[in-house]
Amino acid sequence: MKRVFSGVQPSGELTLGNYLGAIRNFVSFQHEAECFFCVVDLHAITVPQDPEDLYRRTLDIARLFIASGIDPDIATVFVQSHVSAHAELSWLLECNTYIGELRRMTQFKEKSEGRETVSAGLFTYPVLMAADILLYDTDEVPVGEDQKQHLELTRDLAQRINQRFGPVFKVPEPYIPPKDSGGRIMSLTDPTKKMAKSGDDRSSIALLDSPSVIAKKIKGAVTDSGREVRYDVEEKPAISNLMVIYSLCSGDSLETIADRYGASGYGKFKADLADVVISTLEPIQKRYQELTEPGVIEEILAQGAQRAERTAQVVLNRFREKLGLVPRRS
């Protein structure tokens, strides 16, 4: 059976962009592949985090995975730092990674820009991500478009190591939805930027936003000149983004939406879009509430970590042996 791995950082509140670009696809993968879905807390601490927020968000993301439809009896849901093989493999991979290739990572450039100090962890972040993926002999990695370059690095590292030491790692493939089906959901206030977790509050819809907040944010979303609802990324980037959101939440095609709202103006379209988004998130929010009972998510994560560890250890040992590291006698 095919293996699928993906991760989400507990670095902010999950957004509709995360859901439409990534988590929604996780849910459909679980029936056709052996899936590992990870809350990547070690990635989040590459930039400063408030410890209480980190703690809460880590559990929240796991709850939202499950509330979105991931079944923990089918897929393995776990926290990255619970399986120490991730940090360990990351070091082994770092010793086979070139500084030059990490310098080229655009996410590093973006995230380090304007910071007074930049941690070494932010620089080596993509290597830890490669470790996450390679530890599970992963075939496919569902991610948003912004992660494409990290996936290429992961593939390069796997191929380089396989060449140096003989077969060790499976070379994974990215699974990136096209832009018009969620690969890149844009900000509500600036359609040239992606909808991000840490963005300004009005720019993104959080999965746990209340219906009234969602309606307000959509009403306030920027639009383009003119009044025609039409999919045209060049001329109408803002409306096109809202149409993609509408389409993914409702299941209607972009053409259907253009036919329905083309002539009725932005106001009616936005009001209906708010309803569509609210009814997509309502069942997720309801299930999320049920998972806030103390101990429930913790138990799911404990079992997930146990399952993940079994697989990870096999792959880690395979590489350790190839490297010539002496195994510890038990």
Q: Which of residues 58-87 bind ligand AMP (CB under 6 A)?
A: none
Assign 39 to helix, strand or coil: strand
For residue 5, the partner it binds in ligand TRP, ligand AMP, none, with Cβ less than 5 to 8 A by kind, is: ligand TRP
For residue 199, the partner it binds in ligand AMP, ligand TRP, none, with Cβ less than 5 to 8 A by kind, is: none
Assign 253 to helix, strand or coil: coil
Q: Applying CB under 6 A, which part among 13-21, 205-213, 295-303, 315-323 lies near ligand AMP?
A: 13-21
Among 38, 143, 273, 284, binds ligand AMP (CB under 6 A): 143
For residue 21, the partner it binds in ligand AMP, ligand TRP, none, with Cβ less than 5 to 8 A by kind, is: ligand AMP
- Contact residues for 231 (Cβ-Cβ < 8 A; gap 6+): 180, 239, 240, 243, 254, 257, 258
Fill in the per-residue mask, 15 to 44: x = in contact with ligand AMP (CB under 6 A), - = not in contact.
--xx--xx----------------------
Based on the residue annotation, tell me whether 197 is a catalytic residue of this protein: yes
Assign 142 to helix, strand or coil: strand
Q: Which of these is catalytic: 2, 148, 193, 197?
A: 197
CB 130 within 8 A of CB 93: yes
For residue 141, the partner it binds in ligand AMP, ligand TRP, none, with Cβ less than 5 to 8 A by kind, is: ligand TRP
Minimum distance of ligand AMP from residue 9's CB (angstroms): 4
Q: Which of residues 134-163 bind ligand TRP (CB under 6 A)?
A: 141, 143, 147, 150
Among 3, 4, 5, 8, binds ligand AMP (CB under 6 A): 8
Q: How far apart are CA 119 and CA 117, in angstroms?
A: 7
What are the backbone dihedrals phi and psi of residue 273, each rounded to the nearest 5 degrees, phi first? -60, -45
Contact flag: residue 215 with ligand TRP (CB under 6 A): no
For residue 195, the partner it binds in ligand TRP, ligand AMP, none, with Cβ less than 5 to 8 A by kind, is: ligand AMP
Q: How far apart are CA 39 and CA 10, in angstroms?
A: 7
Cβ proximity to ligand AMP: between 3 and 194 the closer is 194
- The amino acid at 215: A
114 sits in the region (left: phi over 0; alpha: psi -120 to 50; else beta) called: left
Query: With 0-12 CB in 10 A as exposed, 13-18 as middle and 19+ as buried, what is 225?
Result: exposed
Give the residue carrying structure tokens 């396989």: 162
Q: How far apart are CA 45 and CA 229, in angstroms?
A: 42
- The amino acid at 203: S
Q: How far apart are CA 320 and CA 92, in angstroms?
A: 8
Based on the residue annotation, tell me whether 194 is a catalytic residue of this protein: yes
Residue 55: closest CA among 81, 26, 84, 36: 81
Minimum distance of ligand TRP from residue 86's CB (angstroms): 9
Contact flag: residue 9 with ligand TRP (CB under 6 A): yes
Q: How far apart are CA 65 and CA 111, in angstroms?
A: 25
Minimum distance of ligand TRP from residue 133's CB (angstroms): 5
Interface residue list for ligand AMP (CB under 6 A): 8-9, 17-18, 21-22, 143-144, 146-147, 182-185, 194-195, 197
Interface residue list for ligand TRP (CB under 6 A): 5-7, 9, 40, 43, 129, 132-133, 141, 143, 147, 150
Which residue numbers are catalytic? 111, 194, 197
